[in-house]
Structure 1
Amino acid sequence: MSFAFRPVQERDIPRICGFARNPGELFFFFPAATWPLTHEQLRDSIAQRSDSTVIERDGQVLGFANFYQWETQGTCTIGNLIVDPEARGGGVAGQLIGEMLRIARDKHQAAQVTLSCFNDNVAGLLLYPKLGFVPFAIEERRNKQNERVALIHLRHQPA
């Protein structure tokens, strides 16, 4: 089975909103959002971002990502990355990130692609280095419980 990519559509929003199973997962996916994620919150984010993309297999949306920073000849930063809980661990995130890297390179001629991951998002922290991302900065943030967390910034290093 192969994956397909396309721009997000209005009909995808309810499904994507269901991917975050709890407030913690929502914080990883969309830190500014409040639980539960509403269609309006996601629509507003999509409107302020670039290249909102879904990955699907057999017509079923399995993941979503976009850029919250994009500059021609500059940096594209991947955000709002989430995968259907039923599809996690099956290579969906890696394929979707690969597509976002392609869009950054082909559409924006990006010199670099970055993303950020919270310290307790173990799945992300283990995946991103396998895809060629290396940490370059750590920033202190506060989670929804006002606890200190580390936001780790990673940069893609092409092979």
Structure 2
Amino acid sequence: MTTFTYRDMEEKDLLIISSFPSSDDELFYMGPRFVYPLTPDQIVAMLENRHSPTVVLGEADTPVAYANLYDVDAERSSCWLGNVIVSNAYRGHGAARYLLRTMMTLAREKYRLDKMKLYCHNTNTKALLFYCNNGFVPCGSRIIENHRKETIVSIEMERTLHLGD
């Protein structure tokens, strides 16, 4: 079993993160505004409104997963999880769970927040199951167009952040 660590994303990680989405569908799930293929410049542009860009490191301290936070709101004690992606080679090996736990810890300890929210598209069944299995519950939805101009549902999910999560 792989032992994971994490750190703040660094400029040297951008090219590796850009290689994670292997299709336009995966990239849409990572971020609806991105255009396939993902480039480092697109990630940098997105970071203007993001907090705590974080990479999970696998073997040889190589990035294997990435996410960030946005709309950090101290008044509402909540934030949104964004741009979640895991390298194909590390899917099913605990990297996503480690990344999610890391981001929840950052939200709770660094920003002193009590709630994390996210959007997950109805067409991304694996991710919906993953988030449900990790304590997120649906709390709303919105109708959007995907990258193919098809109408889909983006499901709003939330989770209370507890000490020891």
TM-score (norm 1): 0.95
Deviation at 1:48, TM superposition (A): 2.3
| CA–CA separation in structure 1 for the residues paired with 2:18 and 2:68 | 15
SS at match of 2:22: coil
User: Is the CA contact 1:141–1:149 (under 8 Å) kept in the aligned structure 2?
Assistant: yes
SS of 2:99's partner is helix
* 2:144 is the alignment partner of 1:141: yes
The equivalent residue for 1:72 is 74
**Preserved contact between residue 117 and residue 125 of structure 1 (Cα < 8 Å):** yes
1:19 aligns with 20
- Long gaps (5+) in structure 1: none
Q: Percent identity over the alignment?
A: 30
Question: Partner amino acid for 1:60?
Answer: T
Query: Residue in 1 aligned with 2:96?
Result: 93
- Choose which of 119, 124, 129 in structure 1 pairs with 2:122: 119
* Partner SS state of residue 116, structure 1: strand
- Structure-2 residue corresponding to 1:36: 37
1:128 aligns with 2:128: no
- The structural deviation recorded for 1:47 is 3.0
Contact 1:132 1:158 in 2 (8 A): no
Distance 1:158 1:71, change over 3 A: closer
Secondary structure of the residue aligned to 2:73 is coil
Amino acid of the residue matched to residue 66 of structure 1? Answer: N
Which position in structure 1 is the counterpart of 2:49?
Answer: 48
Distance 1:112 1:158, change over 3 A: closer
Equivalent pair of 2:121/2:155 in contact (CA under 8 Å): yes
Instruction: In structure 2, list runs of 5 or more residues that go unmatched.
Output: none
Alpha-carbon distance between aligned partners in 1 of 2:120 and 2:30, rounded to the nearest angstrom: 9
